[in-house]
């Protein structure tokens, strides 16, 4: 197994998949980018909805004041924050709506670490970039499209040279952007360091990232990590013993011995569950595995041990809608808009893990 992450960081795959990409002969220190025509001139289709209740009107007004204050206030050095996004296929629209709505409150931190699994990989680069990515995330998940592949193509169209360069500079400064691709009959599970790919300035870097994002939504696409220079991709093992089918989706997690984090934010797009992953993770570490599977509950244990704050969000059943097909744009849009409204009113985040009495910081 090849090591893909920077020194001091070990990444844990929660639901990952192996993605190989065909590399061409080029040097990783070549500063040139080969970027296709990725036009971003079109106007986005997403427009912020009007508030519907007196409470929402008040929150929207307060959010506007908070955003203005943030432009001029002197802020101390913030604790490093991590955002972890699970997979969820159609339910990934929940993550998208939460992040965009949260951005309106002026309370969302700038994330030093962003990890994502499966379809959530379409969100990760733009969440990593901060406020400039909000409109893009909304356009990907709330605008009419015909398939996941079209959504991935839309995401790729926004990865301009300038944005890739900002991702590269963030990576060089110690921040991390990593995604996992779920396994299927066509491929093994794998993890990819998108920040390292961007920072390589390899002429094919943009193409590698494009293929990875397309593979994130298509389980039939296989990319061999051995064909991508720089050790930026690695095949991982999945624990199929303690996790029941349908019980949840995977996260990626930094090793607690790596760069210290002051706060964790987990968005779980599926059903939350308590399970026992510590024993398996310990076994993997003893076996020398560089990447292993860790459940959401382990984040809580880790944050408590390091006195870091942690928040978790997941869809709630009150919306009362169900997808009518494997790709249901109306369902995704409804989930996105509802979650956006809740998030801009400061809701969704909580401090406790389901079925656990302990409240964490």
Work out whether strand 252-254 and strand 233-235 pair parallel, antiparallel, or are unpaired. unpaired
Tell me the average pLDDT of the chain.
76
Query: Which of residues 254 and 315 earns the better pLDDT score?
Result: 315
Of 165, 166, 143, the closest CA to residue 155 belongs to: 143
For residue 266, give every residue at least 6 positions away whose Cβ sits within 8 Å of its Cβ, in sequence order, or none. 84, 86, 251, 296, 299, 310, 311, 312, 313
Query: Which of residues 32 and 87 earns the better pLDDT score?
Result: 87
Mean pLDDT for the stretch of residues 315-334: 83
Share of the chain above pLDDT 90, in %: 35
Q: Minimum mean pLDDT among 13-27, 121-135, 246-260: which range?
A: 13-27
pLDDT value at residue 250: 64
Of 260, 213, 255, 293, the closest CA to residue 112 belongs to: 260
pLDDT value at residue 65: 83
Residue bearing tokens 């995604």: 179
CA separation, residue 204 to residues 24, 198, 227, 305 (Å): 7, 10, 12, 41
Q: Minimum mean pLDDT among 9-13, 153-157, 213-217, 308-312: which range?
A: 9-13
Using DSSP's 3-state secondary structure scheme, residue 80 falls into coil
Buried b / exposed e along 53-69 (16+ C-beta atoms within 10 A): eeebeebbeebeeeeee
Domain boundaries, the chain: 11-25+83-344
> Residue 253: in which H helix or E strand, if any?
strand 252-254
Give the global pTM.
0.79
Query: Which of residues 26 and 279 earns the better pLDDT score?
Result: 279
pLDDT value at residue 75: 62
Mean pLDDT for the stretch of residues 272-280: 44
d(C-alpha 89, C-alpha 357), whole Å: 30
Q: How many of the other CB atoms lie within 10 Å of CB of 228?
A: 26
d(C-alpha 90, C-alpha 332), whole Å: 6
pLDDT value at residue 87: 87
pLDDT value at residue 319: 66
Mean pLDDT for the stretch of residues 348-359: 62
């Amino acid at each position: 197994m090849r090591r893909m992450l920077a020194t001091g960081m070990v990444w844990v795959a929660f639901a990952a998949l192996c993605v190989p990409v065909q590399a061409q002969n080029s040097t990783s220190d070549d500063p040139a980018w080969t970027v296709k025509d990725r036009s971003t001139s079109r106007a986005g289709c997403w427009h912020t909805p009007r508030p519907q209740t007196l409470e929402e009107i008040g929150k929207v007004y307060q959010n506007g004041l908070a955003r203005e204050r943030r432009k001029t206030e002197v802020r101390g050095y913030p604790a490093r924050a991590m955002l972890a996004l699970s997979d969820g296929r159609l339910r990934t629209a929940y993550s998208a709506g939460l992040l965009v709505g949260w951005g309106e409150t002026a309370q969302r931190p700038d994330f030093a670490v962003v990890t994502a699994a499966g379809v959530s990989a379409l969100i990760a680069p733009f969440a990593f970039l901060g406020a400039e990515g909000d409109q893009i995330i909304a356009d990907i998940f709330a605008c009419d499209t015909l398939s996941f592949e079209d959504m991935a193509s839309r995401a790729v169209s926004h990865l301009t040279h300038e944005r890739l360069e900002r991702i590269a500079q963030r990576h060089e400064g110690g921040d991390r952007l990593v995604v996992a691709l779920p396994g299927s009959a066509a491929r093994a599970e794998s993890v990819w360091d998108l920040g390292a790919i961007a920072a390589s300035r390899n002429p094919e870097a943009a193409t590698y990232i494009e293929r990875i994002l397309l593979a994130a939504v298509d389980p039939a696409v296989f990319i061999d990590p051995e064909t991508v220079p720089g050790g930026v991709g690695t095949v991982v093992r999945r624990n199929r013993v303690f996790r029941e089918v349908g019980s949840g989706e995977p996260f990626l997690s930094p090793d607690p011995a790596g760069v210290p984090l002051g706060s964790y934010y987990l968005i779980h797009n599926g059903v939350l569950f308590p399970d026992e992953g510590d024993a398996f993770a310990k076994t993997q570490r003893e076996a020398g595995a560089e990447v292993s599977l860790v459940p959401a509950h382990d984040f809580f244990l880790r944050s408590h041990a390091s006195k870091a704050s942690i928040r978790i969000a997941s869809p709630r059943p009150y919306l009362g809608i169900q997808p009518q097909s494997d790709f249901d744009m109306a369902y995704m849009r409804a989930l996105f808009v509802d979650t956006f409204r809740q998030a801009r009113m400061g809701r969704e985040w909580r401090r406790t893990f389901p079925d656990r009495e302990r409240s964490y910081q």
